[in-house]
Structure 1
Amino acid sequence: MIVDVDDCVSKHLAEFVSQHSQSNGWYVDKGYVYQDGNRFIYYKKYAFNRSCGTCRIVRYNLYDLPEKMEDANLTSLIHLDYHKLTEIKQGVRLKQLPFEGAVYIIGNGENIYQAGFDTFFGAKVGITLSIRSRIREAFNYRLLTKSIRREFGLYNIN
């Protein structure tokens, strides 16, 4: 699993993977988006893997990795963990992780969503949500609880 500096994973993840070590792997379909310092966290109940790179856990021997890094094809390494894919190779699919697996932290200087939720939802690039969509999105915000902080190791950076 590739984990970026702007992401946190569930404290239950390593134990789950260890208990299912024969599986090909999983993708994180459900997770959270958090802006540092905010009292609320956005619950992304599906397609988390389309927004965040920390979303795939793959059994390493499913990749055709060279013995030495200098023998690797740079292009294939770049595409090695393309986070939107749920199929590693023909017929080898990842399963959906059965719990919220990660938190994507935005607006912290380490990712493309520098202005936080505004850019995450497209406000700064001219995309406007309908009133119906805004109301629907509002229901996805949750109060950032101590329980969520503990599960993902979230603490204020600033």
Structure 2
Amino acid sequence: MFCFVMALKSQSVSSNWESVCRILEKTLRSVCAQTDSNLRVFVVCHEIPQLAGFSDPRVEFLSVDFPAPDLSQKKSRQEDKFKKLAVGLSRARDFNPDFLMLMDADDLVSRRLVEYAHAHPNANGWAFEKGYTYDAGSPWLFLRNDLYKVCGTSAVINARLVELPEDPVRDFEECVILRYGHTAIRGQLDSRGTPLEPLPFPGAIYVLSHGENNASHLRQPSGIKQPTTLLDHVRQILGNQRRFITTLPQRKLATSALRREFSLTK
């Protein structure tokens, strides 16, 4: 059994709840399109989302009643997410899973993940070095070799390595995969002598620019000024061309094969 766990933001802190639900539906379609169907998905939320065209008995929504986060406070946002993930991990434990995967509710995953994990039952798990970032609506994906450093959907972990405290919500920081966030999971497990291997294929697509995430810094560096003169416009065009050329080896066209593997829709 392979269990996916994700935290969904509250309607009260969403700029467009319908968009949040629509994006989640795409994520769930991607997760449930696995070539190995032996999986469960736990979505932890304040409000149960309304999904217009999707239903799958392997998906379970878990509602929480603790207060929604204060968006102005980073710690509050992080604690909301980690508490929800702790609730999901606690529920997943009831199914005696072989592998666990924390993921963001707006990303897409390779349809080969579950099959690959079940073919290697004794592995500690895998970190996603390779993966894509994708600007919603673009014909291009950008291949990264450090996805686990920037994306919350970036590791598969053997369930035997994950111990939960008696009160997972109150004491979530005692859980090794929640203590420091996704960027530290690999280092934390390595320091315990249970290192994750690199996943040998791109494992996820980190979807940007859909209006409900906070990752715009990955699309455009901060500090770029809007052009105000003709010369500024020319310089920007030339700069964009240079950036396109220098990043061409990392750019991948969103082919039908890639779209099928990740359930990527237009």
Q: What's the TM-score bracket when you normalise by the shorter of the two chains?
A: 0.7 to 0.9
The partner residue of 2:159 within 48, 54, 60 is: 60
1:139-158 equivalences in 2 (<5 Å): 139-156=249-266
Q: Match for residue 138 of structure 1?
A: 248
**Length, aligned pairs only:** 150
Q: Match for residue 211 of structure 2?
A: 109
Identity fraction in percent: 30
Given the alignment of the two structures, is residue 48 of structure 1 paired with residue 142 of structure 2, yes or no? Answer: no
What TM-score, normalized by structure 2, do the two folds share? Answer: 0.50
What TM-score, normalized by structure 1, do the two folds share? Answer: 0.80
Separation in 1 of the partners of 2:174 and 2:165? 11
Q: Match for residue 70 of structure 2?
A: none
- Structure 2: give runs of 5+ residues left out of the alignment: 1-100, 225-238
Separation in 1 of the partners of 2:104 and 2:110? 14
Q: Residues 19-73 of structure 1, C-alpha deviation per residue, up to 9 Å, x if partnerless?
A: 11111110000011111111111111x1111111100111122122134535x51
The DSSP-based 3-state class of the residue aligned with 1:123 is coil
The DSSP-based 3-state class of the residue aligned with 2:207 is strand
The partner residue of 2:126 within 22, 26, 32 is: 26
| 1:120 counterpart letter in structure 2 | L
- Structure 1: give runs of 5+ residues left out of the alignment: none
- Which range is displaced more, 74-83 or 20-29? 74-83
1:90-129 equivalences in 2 (<5 Å): 90-114=192-216, 119-126=217-224
Please state how far the C-alpha of 1:15 moved relative to its aligned partner: 0.1
Relative to total residues, which structure has the larger helix share, 1 or 2?
A: 2
Separation in 1 of the partners of 2:167 and 2:157? 20
The partner residue of 1:69 within 168, 171, 174 is: 168
Coordinate RMSD, CA, aligned: 2.7
- The alpha-carbon distance between structure 1 residues 23 and 7, as it changes in their structure 2 partners (threshold 3 A), is same
Please state how far the C-alpha of 1:5 moved relative to its aligned partner: 1.5
- The alpha-carbon distance between structure 1 residues 74 and 65, as it changes in their structure 2 partners (threshold 3 A), is closer
